Structures are given as structure tokens and as C-alpha cells.
């Protein structure tokens, strides 16, 4: 069965508790439950993980190789700074779809640069929590359909 890792980075554990005007009212637990339900409906398996630590996210991408078919990654602020995450994706050659709740291109200029984008299959941003379902569908399509 197709298996996808949904990996969330720093501060995304705060979702739904602050800055709802930017990130909405949905909590991380809600997002993860939605991902699991969406995966079930599509006939794939999803595992969700979150870490505030760059090295733990690098480790999770390394560990995903051979375990998962693809990764949906919201790297949070590490998107804009992490050469280590860029190298982990390039080094493992894992198919990664970059995901952001907010439209990073409509925000501060420091959010316009992504170190993930050059090594990602593609990027979804600006659709809030719906983006996770869109990213899972995009990953299924990229992998050639559920198996
Ligand atoms: O829009 C996104 O999904 C981001 O990846 C979210 C990151 C931000 O640094 C990126 O530029 C875009 C921040 C996640 C922080 O989430 C919070 C949620 C509620 C309260 C505080 C932070």
C-alpha cells in the first residue's frame, strides 16, 4: 500500500492556538486526523510527525527512505534557512511535496526564499489546512496512483 509521511516542522504544534488570522483555527491534531481520514478515503497509508528540531527533521527524512513512498513536508521557518533539509532531500532522493498553510509569497520577503523548493516535486501554499489533502492527492498522482 502506498505510504506517505506527513512531516511538520517548528512551531506547527502551536497551530490553532495563536495567529488564527494567518494560520486558521485548525489544530495540528485536527490536521493530522484530516490527513489520516483523507488517506483512508484514497486507499493509502499516512503517518504524521512533527518536530521543532532541524536535526530531527533531517533524521525523519533519512528514515523515510525505504519506509515511505513520499513525504509531504511543511518545514515551517526552516524552509527559509535550512541547507541541511535541502541536502537531506537531495541525498535521499525522496519525493517531497513542499506545503505551507499560508501563501509565503504574499508575506514578508524573507519567506519568499525556499531551500526546499529546488529539491521538491512541487509546492502547495496558501490554502490553509486544505493544502494537506491537496498535497496528498498530488503525491498520489506523482507516484502514479494508489498501490
Ligand atoms: O505557512 C506555513 O505553513 C509556514 O510554513 C508556517 C511557518 C512559517 O515560518 C513559514 O514561513 C510558513 C510558521 C509556523 C508557525 O505556526 C504557528 C501557528 C500558530 C501560532 C504560531 C505559529
Q: Average pLDDT in the 112-129 region?
A: 98
pLDDT digits (tens, 9 = 90+) for 62-120: 999 999 999 999 999 999 999 999 999 999 999 999 999 999 999 999 999 999 999 99
Give ligand 1 pocket residues (Cβ under 6 A).
11-12, 14-15, 17-19, 23, 74, 76-77, 79, 100-102, 104, 111
pLDDT digits (tens, 9 = 90+) for 6-43: 999 999 999 998 888 888 899 999 999 999 999 999 99
Superfamily per CATH, domain 3-143: Dehydroquinase, class II (3.40.50.9100)
**HEC readout, the chain:** CCEEEEEECCCHHHCCCCCHHHHCCCCHHHHHHHHHHHHHHHCCEEEEEECCCHHHHHHHHHHHECCECEEEEECHHHHHCCHHHHHHHHHHCCCEEEEECCCHHHCCHHHCCCCCHHHCCEEEECCCCHHHHHHHHHHHHHHCCCC
pLDDT digits (tens, 9 = 90+) for 2-12: 999 999 999 99
Residue 40, pLDDT score = 97
Amino acid at each position: 500500500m502506498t505510504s506517505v509521511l506527513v512531516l511538520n516542522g517548528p512551531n506547527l504544534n502551536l497551530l490553532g492556538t495563536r495567529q488564527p488570522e494567518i494560520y486558521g483555527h485548525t489544530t495540528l491534531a485536527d490536521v493530522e486526523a484530516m490527513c489520516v481520514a483523507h488517506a483512508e478515503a484514497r486507499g493509502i497509508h499516512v503517518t504524521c510527525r512533527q518536530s521543532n528540531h532541524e536535526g530531527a527533521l533531517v533524521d525523519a527524512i533519512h528514515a523515510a527512505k525505504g519506509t515511505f513512498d513520499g513525504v509531504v513536508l511543511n518545514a515551517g521557518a526552516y524552509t527559509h534557512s535550512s541547507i541541511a533539509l535541502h541536502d537531506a532531500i537531495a541525498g535521499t532522493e525522496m519525493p517531497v511535496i513542499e506545503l505551507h498553510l499560508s501563501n509565503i509569497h504574499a508575506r514578508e520577503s524573507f519567506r519568499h526564499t525556499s531551500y526546499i523548493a529546488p529539491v521538491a516535486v512541487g509546492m502547495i501554499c496558501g490554502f490553509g489546512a486544505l493544502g494537506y489533502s491537496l498535497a496528498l492527492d498530488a503525491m498520489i498522482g506523482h507516484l502514479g496512483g494508489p498501490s
